[in-house]
Amino acid sequence: MFTSRHCYLSAKLATVSRNSSLKVNFGRASISASLPRTPLRRSMASTTLQNHASLVEFGQKHVTHGLGRSVEAVMTKGEGSYVFLGDGRRLLDFSAGIGVTNLGHCHPKVSGAAAAQCMNIVHAQCSIAFAEPYLHLIEKLLPMMPDPSLDSFFFWNSGSEAIEAAIKMARVITGKQNIIAMQGGYHGRTFGAMAVTKSKTVYSEGFHPLMPGVYTLPYPYWHHHALPPSTSVDELTKLSLHQLSLLLAQQTAPRDTAAILIEPVMGEGGYIPAPPAFLKGVREICDKEGILLIIDEVQSGFGRTGKNFAIEHSGVRPDIMTIAKGLANGFPLSGVVSKKEYTDKLKPGSMGGTYAGNAVACAAACAVADVFREEKILDNVNARSEELFTALNALRTNPATKEAILDVRGKGLMVAVEFASPKGTGPYDPFTKPNVPEKLASKIAKRCQEKGLLILTTSVYEVIRFIPPLNISKEELAEGTKIFAEAVEEVVKGI
């Protein structure tokens, strides 16, 4: 049977040359191959503690400055809930590749399916013919859809591309132009996706003018309405729906509005679940005004919130749904799902892409769907979620840390802790606490790394997000939350 190690071998053999050699061990067997004589190839073939620093320096010099990193290190291996760095560190991974490796690193069934597909056909171009894994994946996803109307699929490579396709589809299907996006929403960095991304200005700074026809609605998040964290979801829902009514009356008329784009759990904006009543209210307005509802499940989908898709918590029907990240557990794959009645309005050739719906990625995604069922992943998510919230809420009652915490929120294993700030987002931010340390989130994340836990910040606020593998064990979760609690207390105390 093929394993993830076969994938590693294939990658090494792809650059074979007669100039130098490399030996790869597979248990009892070993295979020798050649690599070009370049400093980079020699370094990558033998990443050790001695040359790790020089390899990092090489990357800092030659990888575009437009990329940011959480850790200045080379990640050499992933195994289950852990990653290994070239400097010898092993970190418990609560980032899951930003919500991608939902089944942990190198799950044997997923990596094995991809390796087997590599020996069949790697590139079955979607504009030339059907690919068997592409069709099998649709077959496996149909029963998982949040509504039976979602029966027409297009697979692409990334979440940003899926958003681009969804916007194109909405405009063609409705014959209208404008898109309403959410304040704080994140949908990608490509041109159209960047225009509807409202979580941080860094994603679009310097790239204007952006795609026109985009309007912004306050998400039902207490910050957006300058209300305290204790504000009820009913009040936040009413305020945001009122703002939507004003938006349609003052800025973009329904006859000009193609779609409303929402993350059912806001991702980069701070891991904020949308109240079901808000989503139902938006659905009603969309139905009344002939506007499509696009649900972005790129980060919140595939079990992350305890259901196959986060929109299921509300019972609301999407007109178009975008998927990616956890879909293929690390292989580049995204999708746009709608109903055939709508997609029949698209002209053949209006959708496509050289690598769209790659056969290897689709084979991996088929295995992901199988693992979800066979290993009862959703049961584990819901069990671990209770333990995670219990551990995090304990920090809100701890005398040493409670004053520094504004909020603990999320769904399933898509969870966040928001910390207080002495300055906030500016001089008019009403939720500042002068006595807490500055930049708490980034300091705590760094301390966690030092203690063996990889965890990420998010949003313009002081937020740390928890995105562990969905099959994480009870013991691994306890290990991570213990490290986090220690780091919070140490940083808050200034230790």
pLDDT in tens, 297-340: 999 999 999 999 999 999 999 999 999 999 999 999 999 999 99
What does the mean pLDDT of the chain come to? 91
Cα separation, 339 vs 269, whole angstroms: 29
Rounded average pLDDT over 219-223: 97
| pLDDT band per the 50, 70, 90 thresholds, residue 1 | very low
Asked if 197 contacts 187 with a C-beta cutoff of 8 angstroms, the reply is yes
Q: Is 113 within the bounds of a domain?
A: no
Rounded average pLDDT over 480-489: 98
Cα separation, 123 vs 59, whole angstroms: 29
Buried b (16+ CB within 10 A) or exposed e, 73-98: bbeeebebbbbbbbbeeebbbbbbbe
Rounded average pLDDT over 226-235: 96
Quote the distance between the C-alpha of residue 419 and its chain's center: 22
What is the value of pTM for the model shown? 0.90
- Whether residue 48 has pLDDT greater than 80: no
Provide φ and ψ at 61, rounded to 5°: -80, -40
Q: Is 89 within the bounds of a domain?
A: no
pLDDT of residue 171: 98
Cα separation, 273 vs 263, whole angstroms: 8
Q: Which of 339, 361, 390 marks a domain boundary? A: 339
Helices and strands, number each (H, E), in the chain: 15, 19
| pLDDT band per the 50, 70, 90 thresholds, residue 49 | low
pLDDT of residue 50: 66
Q: Is 216 within the bounds of a domain?
A: yes
Number of Cα atoms under 13 Å in the Cβ half of residue 77:
12
Rounded average pLDDT over 92-105: 98
Kindly state whether residues 445 and 333 are assigned to the same domain: no
Kindly state whether residues 326 and 409 are assigned to the same domain: no
Kindly state whether residues 177 and 316 are assigned to the same domain: yes
Q: Is 349 within the bounds of a domain?
A: no
3-state helix, strand, coil in the chain (%, to 5): 40, 20, 40
Cis peptide leading into residue 209 (ω within 30°):
yes
Contacts of 144 (CB under 8 A, 6+ apart): 308, 309, 369
Asked if 215 contacts 207 with a C-beta cutoff of 8 angstroms, the reply is no
Q: Is 13 within the bounds of a domain?
A: yes
Terminal-residue alpha carbon distance, the chain: 51
pLDDT digit string, tens, across residues 67-97:
999 999 999 999 999 999 999 999 999 999 9
Q: What is the CATH number of the domain that holds 281?
A: 3.40.640.10
Kindly state whether residues 332 and 388 are assigned to the same domain: no
108-118 and 4-13 helices cross at what angle (nearest 10)?
40
Residue 242: CB atoms within 10 A of its CB come to: 12
Kindly state whether residues 217 and 312 are assigned to the same domain: yes
Kindly state whether residues 170 and 271 are assigned to the same domain: yes
Q: Is 371 within the bounds of a domain?
A: no
Amino acid at 467: I
* 464 SS3 class: strand
pLDDT of residue 495: 75
Amino acid at 65: H
Rounded average pLDDT over 354-364: 98
Alpha helices per DSSP H over 260-401: 276-289, 340-343, 359-374, 377-397
Cα separation, 373 vs 470, whole angstroms: 13
Residue 452: CB atoms within 10 A of its CB come to: 14
pLDDT of residue 377: 98
- Whether residue 480 has pLDDT greater than 90: yes
Kindly state whether residues 392 and 443 are assigned to the same domain: yes
Relative to beta strand 257-262, strand 292-296 is: parallel
Kindly state whether residues 181 and 235 are assigned to the same domain: yes
Q: Give 370-374 contacts, CB < 8 A, sequence gap 24+.
A: 370/109, 370/140, 371/103, 371/107, 371/109, 371/110, 372/302, 372/303, 372/308
Percent residues over pLDDT 70 in the chain: 90
Percent residues over pLDDT 90 in the chain: 88
Kindly state whether residues 294 and 223 are assigned to the same domain: yes
Rounded (5°) CA angle 447-449-453: 115
Kindly state whether residues 301 and 403 are assigned to the same domain: no
Q: Is the dihedral of CA 260, 266, 267, 268 positive or negative?
A: positive
Q: Is 91 within the bounds of a domain?
A: no
Higher pLDDT, 8 or 166: 166
pLDDT of residue 26: 28
Indicate the number of domains in the chain: 3
- Whether residue 470 has pLDDT greater than 80: yes
| pLDDT band per the 50, 70, 90 thresholds, residue 347 | very high
Buried b (16+ CB within 10 A) or exposed e, 100-136: bbbbbbbbebbbbbbbbbbeeeeebebeeeebebbee
Rounded average pLDDT over 398-403: 95
Kindly state whether residues 327 and 442 are assigned to the same domain: no
The domain of 383 spans: 377-493
Q: Is 369 within the bounds of a domain?
A: no
Kindly state whether residues 335 and 404 are assigned to the same domain: no
pLDDT of residue 22: 33
Q: What is the CATH number of the domain that holds 432?
A: 3.90.1150.10
